Amino acid sequence: MAAGGAAMVAAAAELLDGLDVAAREGALLAFDDPRRLRWSYLPGERVGLPMRAMDGDQRLLAHRLLRTALSLPALAQAVTVGAWETVLEAVERRDDGRRDPGRYHVTIFDPPSATGRWGWRFEGHHLSVSVTLQGGVVVAATPLFLGANPARVSFEGGGTLRPLAVEEDLARELHAALDGERRARAVVAAEAPADILSRMSVRAGDLPSDGVAASDLDPAERSLLRRLVRLYTGRLAPEVAPLFAGVEDDPALRFAWAGGAEPGAPHYYRLLGERLLVEYDCRQDGANHVHTVVRDPRGDLDVDPLRAHVAAAHGGDA
């Protein structure tokens, strides 16, 4: 069994074992339940067991399960996103519970197994982590969504708090580094879209393949593109990251930008190749509201059975 899969089997089983009968029934759904495919980054109630229904020990076990999928930086971002709901509640001056950090849910689809098919999801507003396993091997770890509203909180004395700062700054660096002709190809629209284009689709393989190709970049530009790709694939834990091994060297990978280039302007960018889709959008709420997602255009939640079989047979190399 691959290391990532073994850790998930153990963590999910420990979480289920730590729940009483009613809580276990809330957390556990069938893998074939159609709600497994209905992922969301919007606020609201979900299937599964909410964090507010767990005691301290159970919440710790839920976060330990989340930890099996994410790298340390991404885990730090994920827990920040959850706690950030308190900041958003203050910004909106709400007191209706809509921004309750306890509304993040854990769902396990079929009992964790070292041999059978199962999966799990950790999800709430601006956070969605979905993992599918076959035979104890992770065969899909997307969609992986992180968002932040507000995207930045500024101090009067200077400086800002930005949960998704690197995602913006590194892409801006790449945009600025492109020469005039290549930048013209990269910029596909004068205005940023209102949101990521793939939204909450089950499959995300039908997006435009415009932008500038990696094969057309000079060495310095190509190096920045690799760093940007690795930033997103590096959200996965080291044991899970091989799902995207080598995508940063895909010569057909395309970088597309829409919107303004200056800080504070609404902007959007996309990375799209055969095996990787990344979307980033910052337009809502005066360009102070960020959505980012990592997807597999070949299928993630609705993973292709043949690809799952190959992954299981070859230790995750799909």
* pLDDT tens string 162-193: 999 999 999 999 999 999 999 999 999 999 99
Q: Closest Cα partner for 121 from 47, 26, 173, 197? A: 47
The pLDDT score that the predictor gives to residue 56 is 97
pLDDT at 301: 86
- Give me the pLDDT at residue 317, please: 47
How far is residue 29's CA from residue 19's CA, in Å, rounded to a whole number? 14
Confidence tier at 3 by pLDDT (50, 70, 90): low
pLDDT at 304 over 70: no
pLDDT in tens, 55-90: 999 999 999 999 999 999 999 999 999 999 999 999
Residue 169's H or E segment, with its range, is helix 165-177
C-alpha 287/C-alpha 289 separation (Å) is 6
- For 191-214, what is the mean pLDDT? 95
Dihedral (Cα; 139, 113, 73, 121), 10-degree rounding: 80
3-state secondary structure 51-63: HHHCCHHHHHHHH
Q: pTM of whole model > 0.85?
A: yes
Q: What is the pLDDT of residues 282-293, one digit of tens each?
A: 999 999 999 999
Instruction: Please report the pLDDT score of residue 312 as a whole number.
Output: 52
Residue with tokens 């095996």, as numbered in its chain: 275
Q: What are phi and psi of 139, to 5 degrees?
A: -110, -15
- Alpha carbon distance 115, 17 (integer Å): 19
Q: Which residues pair with 121 in a beta bridge?
A: 107, 130
Is the distance from CB of 145 to CB of 291 less than 8 angstroms?
A: yes
| Cα radius of gyration (the chain) | 19
Specify whether the backbone of 110 is left (phi greater than 0), alpha (psi in -120 to 50) or beta. Answer: left
Per-residue pLDDT band at 316 (split at 50, 70, 90): very low
Mean pLDDT, the chain, whole residue set: 93
Q: Is the pLDDT of residue 44 over 80?
A: yes
Structure tokens at 212: 């500038």
Contact 120, 99 (CB under 8 A): no
pLDDT at 147 over 80: yes
For the residues 284-304, what does the mean pLDDT come to? 91
What's the rounded mean pLDDT across residues 209-238? 98
pLDDT at 195 over 50: yes
**Which amino acid, 78?**
A
Which residues are within 8 A (CB) of 49 and not within 5 positions of it... i.e. 6 or more apart? 19, 23, 26, 27, 105, 106, 107
Q: Is 251 left (phi over 0), alpha (psi -120 to 50) or beta?
A: alpha
For residues 217-224, give the mean pLDDT: 98
N-term to C-term CA, the chain: 15
What CA–CA distance (Å, rounded) separates 142 from 15? 21
| Rounded (10°) angle between helices 3-17 and 56-67 | 170
pLDDT at 318 over 50: no
Omega of the bond prior to 143 within 30 degrees of 0, cis? yes
- Tell me what pLDDT residue 136 has: 84
Q: What is the DSSP string of 205-216?
A: --S---SEEGGG
Q: How confident is the model at residue 135 (pLDDT cuts 50, 70, 90)?
A: confident
